[in-house]
Each structure stands twice: as C-alpha cells, then as structure tokens.
C-alpha cells in the first residue's frame, strides 16, 4: 500500500532534515517547526518513486534530493502564509510560522530553508560534481523567476481579476505547484541515462500529475474541513482567487483531475521505463487522497 511507502519516506527524510537543521538558535527552531511538522511529503515520495527506475543513484543521495525538495517546499509554504501573501494562520495542523515566531523570523526561516536545500545537495558525498550541478539547476529552475516564484506572483497579481481564464489558471498552477512536482520526478533520474523518448514521456507524466494535484487541491479545499486539510479551508475564496471549482464546478473539476492523471499514466505506460510501479501507485494515490 502506498501510504506505508510514504511513511517510510517520511522517516528517512525527517531524520535527514532534523540533522541538517539542528536546534541551536531561534531561526533553526523556526525552520524545524515547519519542516518537521506532520505533512504528506508527496514531493519526497515522488523523488523516491522515480528513483525506483534508476539503478545509478545511491540510496543516501535519494534521501538527500528528497530532503532538498521538501526543504524548498516548506520555505514556499512559510512565505505563502505571510500576511503580505496569502495571509493564512494555519499550516500542517499548527499555527503558521509567522504566528508562532513573528513575521521577520518566518521570512528568515524560509530563506534559510531554501539555502539549506542547496547546501545539502552540495555536501552529498555520493553524487558526482556534474550530477550536483544538474540537481541544483533542476531545483533552482523549478523554484525561481521562471518557476514557482513567478507562479506565486501571477497568483497574487490575478486576485480579483475579471480577465483570468482557464488557460491562465493552468499557467499559474503549472508554475506555482507543477514545476516543483515535475522537478521531484526528474531529480529521481539524476545520473540515469534515459533515452529521449523515455525522458519526454516521464516529463509529460510529471507535468500532468502536477496539474492534477492542484485541481484535486481545489476540490479538497471546497469539500474538506480545516482539521482534515491541516490548513485554512476556502482560503482561495477568502483571497478572491479563482479556482478550478469556479471554472468547472465540482463534477467538472473531478473529471479534469481524472483525465489529467489518465493522460499522465498513459504517457508513462507507453514508455520503456522499468520499475515504474511506484510512480503509477503515487499518481493514483494523489488523485484519490482526502487531504
């Protein structure tokens, strides 16, 4: 069962993160508060599941790359929750970082988590220098000015907008959410020698499930309680943001998530990638999750 697989991933990644952060000062405590809080660790799971298809990467390096992705994701959540951004007081079933530690310390903790994501990749003793550079480039491109950060900008810029359409919504979430999910899958391929066809099909798979993940998030935000979600319910409505529910309705959003997932799985299943069972399980798990 996939939840058990994710549980094993969580144990390995949390241990790595805890050792990497430490607890000697307020900023480290703020970093650990958010990074070690109970979470789904979907992105770490994607790194592990993708690496199941890659026999050229060491287990310790898989843990490193999965931890780096989770550190980067946590940084983005801390900053998303700030009053100047989405202004959310609850994250991972506990007060958001700025509520617990103050806004300045939350900003600094997020900055430090982002830097630490790069640092632990550089410090990995099993990855070659070339593969470290490849990993750093994948992560920085996914999260920078042409990736997650730009998606967050567009998300804020289009609050209260009457001109946004579904294509623009797809663009926002492909950048804000999808890029890091795509990066997680591709990090699992570091040092592998996939041919062009397999590479393209894996990238297409990761892109499709990344967008499906956001569609499902919108569905859950409208249908689940804050206790189950671990974050504020209907936060997008509070911030006057359009969602896939707004455009498609609940049934239409469910159908979109299903079709995106099926399209991604079709791409993966028509490839010659071996040992892809965990990636398939994870895609199906993401579609049917309840938080």
List of domains in the chain: 2-288 (1.10.600.10)
> For the packed helices 2-21 and 103-122, what is the interaxial angle rounded to 10 degrees?
100
User: CA-CA distances (angstroms) from residue 143 to 114, 243, 258?
Assistant: 10, 22, 26
Secondary structure class of 144 (helix, strand, coil) = coil
Q: What is the C-alpha to C-alpha distance for residues 47 and 59, in angstroms, rounded to an integer?
A: 11
Q: What is the C-alpha to C-alpha distance for residues 88 and 75, in angstroms, rounded to an integer?
A: 14
Of how many residues is the chain composed?
A: 291
Query: Do residues 114 and 71 touch, judged by C-beta distance below 8 A?
Result: yes
- Residue 184: CA count within 13 A, CB half-sphere: 30
User: CA-CA distances (angstroms) from residue 145 to 68, 176, 277?
Assistant: 19, 11, 34
pLDDT computed for residue 239 by the predictor: 61
Pick the closest to residue 282 from 49, 14, 47, 70 (CA basis).
49
Q: What is the C-alpha to C-alpha distance for residues 1 and 227, in angstroms, rounded to an integer?
A: 24
Q: What is the share, in percent, of the chain residues with pLDDT greater than 70? A: 95
Q: What is the C-alpha to C-alpha distance for residues 110 and 68, in angstroms, rounded to an integer?
A: 13
Q: What does the block give as tokens for 131?
A: 């593969």
Q: What is the C-alpha to C-alpha distance for residues 89 and 82, in angstroms, rounded to an integer?
A: 8
The pLDDT tens digits for 41-100 are 999 999 999 999 999 999 999 999 999 999 999 999 999 999 999 999 999 989 999 999
Q: What is the C-alpha to C-alpha distance for residues 271 and 280, in angstroms, rounded to an integer?
A: 13
157 φ, ψ (degrees, to nearest 5): -60, -30
Q: What is the C-alpha to C-alpha distance for residues 169 and 166, in angstroms, rounded to an integer?
A: 5
The pLDDT tens digits for 154-186 are 998 888 777 788 899 999 999 999 999 999 999
The pLDDT tens digits for 28-52 are 999 999 999 999 999 999 999 999 9
147: confidence class by pLDDT, cuts 50, 70, 90:
very high
What b/e string do you get for 121-154 counting C-beta neighbours within 10 Å, with b at 16 or more? beebeebeeebbebbeebbbebbeeebbbbbbeb
Look at residue 226 and tell me whether its pLDDT is greater than 80.
no
What mean pLDDT is predicted for residues 232-254? 79
Q: What is the C-alpha to C-alpha distance for residues 39 and 213, in angstroms, rounded to an integer?
A: 15
pLDDT computed for residue 173 by the predictor: 94
What mean pLDDT is predicted for residues 266-288? 94
Q: What is the C-alpha to C-alpha distance for residues 281 and 270, in angstroms, rounded to an integer?
A: 16
């Amino acid at each position: 069962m996939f939840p058990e697989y994710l549980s094993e991933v969580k144990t390995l990644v949390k241990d790595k993160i805890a050792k990497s952060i430490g607890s000697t000062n307020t900023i480290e405590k703020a970093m650990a508060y958010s990074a070690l809080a109970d979470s789904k660790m979907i992105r770490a799971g994607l790194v592990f599941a993708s690496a199941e298809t890659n026999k050229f990467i060491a287990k310790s390096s898989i843990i490193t790359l999965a931890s780096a992705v989770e550190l980067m994701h946590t940084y983005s959540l801390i900053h998303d929750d700030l009053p100047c951004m989405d202004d959310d007081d609850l994250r991972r079933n506990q007060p958001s970082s700025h509520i617990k530690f103050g806004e300045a310390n939350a900003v600094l903790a997020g900055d430090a988590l982002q830097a630490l994501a790069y640092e632990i990749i550089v410090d990995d003793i099993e990855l070659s220098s070339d593969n470290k550079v490849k990993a750093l480039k994948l992560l920085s491109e996914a999260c920078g000015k042409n990736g997650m950060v730009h998606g967050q900008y567009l998300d804020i810029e289009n609050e209260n907008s009457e001109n946004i359409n579904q294509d623009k919504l797809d663009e926002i979430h492909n950048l804000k959410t999808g890029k890091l999910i795509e990066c997680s899958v591709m990090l699992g391929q570091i040092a592998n020698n996939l041919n062009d066809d397999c590479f393209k099909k894996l990238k297409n798979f990761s892109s499709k499930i990344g967008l499906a993940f956001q569609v499902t998030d919108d569905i859950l935000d409208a249908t689940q309680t804050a206790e189950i979600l671990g974050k504020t319910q209907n936060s997008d409505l509070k911030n006057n943001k359009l969602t896939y529910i707004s455009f498609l309705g609940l049934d239409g959003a469910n159908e979109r998530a299903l079709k995106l997932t099926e399209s991604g799985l079709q791409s993966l299943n028509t490839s010659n990638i071996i040992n892809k069972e965990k990636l398939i399980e994870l895609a199906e798990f993401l579609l049917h999750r309840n938080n």
